[in-house]
Amino acid sequence: MDVQATVLEILADLTGNDVSGAMDDNLFDSGLLDSMGSVQLLLQLQSELGISVPVSEFERSEWDTPNKIITKVESLV
């Protein structure tokens, strides 16, 4: 399973943008991701990769760039 490819595909679906060229850009500051998008992201990650991240444990600063999301997901797989 390629975590990076899966995360980038989920982010593309959620944001409508290919974020692979902006791996360190803040998705919240750029307006591509919001609180509802965060919940959808967590649900899709759970569905596709089998990881579980309770919304109560979601720390936005740890999930605000594609690179941080990939690192976090890899630590949970």
Number of domains making up the chain: 1
What is the block-wise mean pLDDT of the chain (77 residues), using blocks of 10 residues? 92 95 96 92 92 83 94 89
Residue 42 contacts residue 14 (beta carbons within 8 Å): no
The parent domain of residue 56 ranges over 3-76
Q: What is the pLDDT of residue 44?
A: 94
The 3-state DSSP class for residue 18 equals: coil
CATH number of the domain where residue 31 is located: 1.10.1200.10
User: With a threshold of 0.85, does the pTM exceed it?
Assistant: yes
- CA 65 distance to own-chain centroid: 8
Report the alpha-carbon angle 22-27-32, nearest 5.
105
